Structure 1
Amino acid sequence: MFERLYAKVYVVIIVLKEKVDVSIMTVHGDGSTVSRAEFELSQIASELQQYVHDAIAETPFFYVGVLNSGINQGAIPTCHRHNAQKYADLSLAKTLCIRGSYMLYSSKYELDAIEKMFQGFGVDFIFSPLTLLERIYKDKIETKAQLYVLIYEEYLAMAVFQHATLLFASFDHVDSGSSDTNFDDKEDDEAVVFDLDKEHEDDGINIDDLDALDNLPDLEDLDAIQELEDFTDEIPDSLLANDTPADEGMQVIAPSLEDFGISYQHFLLIQKRLESYYKDATYHSEFIETVFIADANNSSDDLKRFLEEELFLNVVVRHVNIPDELLALSMEEVQHAV
């Protein structure tokens, strides 16, 4: 009854390399309005804080969600700590088990930085690219093994799901202004996606709940990852040895980055992560035939063509609006908590 007297305000914040995007949905009765604003990083402590405070000033019912864009986050396909050390060193991470199936993790320092950055009004939820992939493709992930990719600004997230079980995940920052195509700045097995935004089957995690995770015992240091082994004959040649003669198998195309720009960088990164998925014996790799791409960048058709022609993948592209997806996730979280 008391809630009916006030509007509900949902705020979602996305911190990018050079800017911060803020979307605010105000729900009153059966209607709603959405406002959006863009700020420079230097404006977080001033203009952005004021913008949010103005939106929430008239109601006690406001909820703030932030997209977790920290590079030191990931997901591993196990909830058992004695197995987790095969994938990553989680001694400085906060973790969360999802559906008893896989473990999400994120750097304690990066989570603390998010709280500090927006301490003026507080953070209720931290969302991740994996959460978005699960929501966007919730009707797909319960089927056979398929690859899901999210492209948004300089972020590229990947996940392989089979029957709603995570097999592999990765998260990378892609510098569109760089000609460097060597994506070795992170270990392949730690390039993982993470949902610190979910508690069990939820799509969000309350910041207050994260404190309880501090009591989790630290995991041992990462064991040496076994290099691997033989590929299945089904895997495309372009994911196999790079020295395959041109007349004996498909080769990775090699135009200049100037010719294809960011689409080619995305292609190289997807190819590299798929190599890790197939080669690394720590992962249970099922053959991938189809990739679903949630594209928030209105990318060109070049990436689709590269994946189809060079990796023989079926490619299905869906154009998405990330702020709107985050607003929907926030509303679902609040409804679930009531």
Structure 2
Amino acid sequence: MKLSGLIQNIYQQIFIGIVIQHSSMKVCVQLRKGKKLEKEISRHFEIAHATPSAEANEFIRSFMDESPFSYVAVLNDTLNQGAIPTCSMHQAENFNDLGSCVTICSENRWMVYAEKSELNALQKRFLINGLDFIFSPFFIMSQFFGDKIQGKTSLLVLIQDDYLSLCIFNDGDLLFAKHYATKDAVEDESMSADIEETASDSLGFNLDDEDNLSINLDDIDALDELDALDDLDNLQDLDDLDDLDEIEDFEESLNEAVEESEVALEEAKSKYDGKIDNFSDDYKRFQLIQASLQQFYNDDKYNNQFVEETYIADACESGPDLIKFLEEELFVSAYKRSIDLEKELVKMAIQEVKYAI
């Protein structure tokens, strides 16, 4: 047995995958010994400014202290990153200025790049525990949809809460790639108006009509007692009531009914707001994809071919409208799969350290 294999069987190896957004952070920890997965833990943390909180750092450190063989991997969240269809630095000049970038070639066919200063800033955010790997979202997509990139021309899309990455492959060759930050994307007024108008049609009500955001109170059983209010108009004298206790009981029942109606109304409004938000996010993502495809089709420097299929890796539980937009507006077959990015990072870290599973 090789010394490295002996060490792996004696010590636990700890792999930590981290996906960071502007205000949240997901962590997956796998504890392995030999070929056996002994334990897996996943956690979600609220953070600020895309920087790990003290609680998150302590959580990560608690596992790193358990073994001298611990590996931390993070998904690259820098803005100035991408991928180009060549590994030649000379040819790369046709696609982007990479003078201040770090580049990594894949299979001597295509390369990813990222601005060096932004990578340094990313490492500083994790300075407390350090980083072993920074993985590109384009490598993630090529791995996750590895069985889809070897055939016909396909568009791969990775959706996160704050980011959207896309790339086009044909027969294993990268043809085109783009990376966007979506959290703080600013749309002009006409775009916002179009989103609201389309959302109104899709959801079946007018967003500007407050009556449509309310619920039908006749459908709430708890408000049946409100019918008694009609009888108050016919009261000439409170003496007609046999007992003041009846008034108090009535008022109590009325207050309870009103409170229940307010809760039901708030739940209904929240439900509709969620639909609107999902629709709006999906529409923004569709516009980014549409603009990217137009660039791919119209720019002569790309080996532009008609995209036949689209595969979406969904890391944020997006709505159903994006699929509909792609199929109806761009005439492509679209498929969506959920992805646990932090677990995918762990898989890639395992591959990088040559750990057999």
TM-score by length of 1: 0.73
The question of 1:175 aligning with 2:183 is answered yes
* Deviating more after overlay: 27-36 vs 282-291: 27-36
TM-fit CA distance, 1:119: 2.5
Q: Distance in 2 between matches of 1:114 and 1:255?
A: 34
2:14 alignment partner in structure 1: 9
Q: How does 1:15-164 map to 2 (within 5 A)?
A: 15-28=20-33, 30=36, 31-41=38-48, 44=52, 46-164=54-172
Contact 2:162–2:183, Cα closer than 8 Å, also in 1 = yes
Q: Which digits, 9 at most, give the CA deviation of each residue in 1:172-191, with x for residues without a partner?
A: 111278555999xxxxxxxx
1:269 alignment partner in structure 2: 288
Instruction: Pick closer, same or farther for the CA change 1:332–1:61 going to 2, 3 Å.
Output: same
Instruction: Pick closer, same or farther for the CA change 1:309–1:37 going to 2, 3 Å.
Output: closer
Instruction: Pick closer, same or farther for the CA change 1:37–1:303 going to 2, 3 Å.
Output: closer
Q: Distance in 2 between matches of 1:17 and 1:304?
A: 26
Q: Distance in 2 between matches of 1:145 and 1:336?
A: 33
Contact 1:181–1:268, Cα closer than 8 Å, also in 2 = no
The runs of 5 or more residues in structure 2 that have no matched partner are 1-5, 200-278
Q: Which runs of 4+ in 1 moved over 4 A?
A: 176-183
Instruction: Pick closer, same or farther for the CA change 1:175–1:258 going to 2, 3 Å.
Output: farther
Q: Which digits, 9 at most, give the CA deviation of each residue in 1:25-84, with x for residues without a partner?
A: 222463222232314137736322222111111210100001001011111111222221
TM-fit CA distance, 1:117: 2.0
Contact 1:181–1:265, Cα closer than 8 Å, also in 2 = no
Instruction: Pick closer, same or farther for the CA change 1:20–1:308 going to 2, 3 Å.
Output: same
The letter of the residue matching 2:128 is: G
Contact 2:167–2:175, Cα closer than 8 Å, also in 1 = yes
TM-fit CA distance, 1:292: 0.9
Instruction: Pick closer, same or farther for the CA change 1:20–1:297 going to 2, 3 Å.
Output: closer
Contact 1:179–1:257, Cα closer than 8 Å, also in 2 = no
Q: How does 1:240-251 map to 2 (within 5 A)?
A: none
TM-fit CA distance, 1:104: 1.6
Q: Which digits, 9 at most, give the CA deviation of each residue in 1:213-239, with x for residues without a partner?
A: xxxxxxxxxxxxxxxxxxxxxxxxxxx
The letter of the residue matching 1:62 is: S
The runs of 5 or more residues in structure 1 that have no matched partner are 184-252
Instruction: Pick closer, same or farther for the CA change 1:177–1:85 going to 2, 3 Å.
Output: closer
Q: Distance in 2 between matches of 1:165 and 1:181?
A: 39
Instruction: Pick closer, same or farther for the CA change 1:7–1:89 going to 2, 3 Å.
Output: same
Q: Distance in 2 between matches of 1:181 and 1:76?
A: 33
Contact 1:150–1:156, Cα closer than 8 Å, also in 2 = yes
**Over alpha carbons, which structure has the higher Rg?**
2
1:303 alignment partner in structure 2: 322
Q: Which digits, 9 at most, give the CA deviation of each residue in 1:216-269, with x for residues without a partner?
A: xxxxxxxxxxxxxxxxxxxxxxxxxxxxxxxxxxxxx94437823101001111
The letter of the residue matching 2:39 is: S
How many residues align? The count is 269
Root-mean-square deviation over aligned CA pairs:
2.5
Indicate the SS of the match to 2:113.
strand
TM-fit CA distance, 1:22: 2.1
Task: Indicate the percent of aligned positions where both proteins have the same amino acid.
Answer: 34
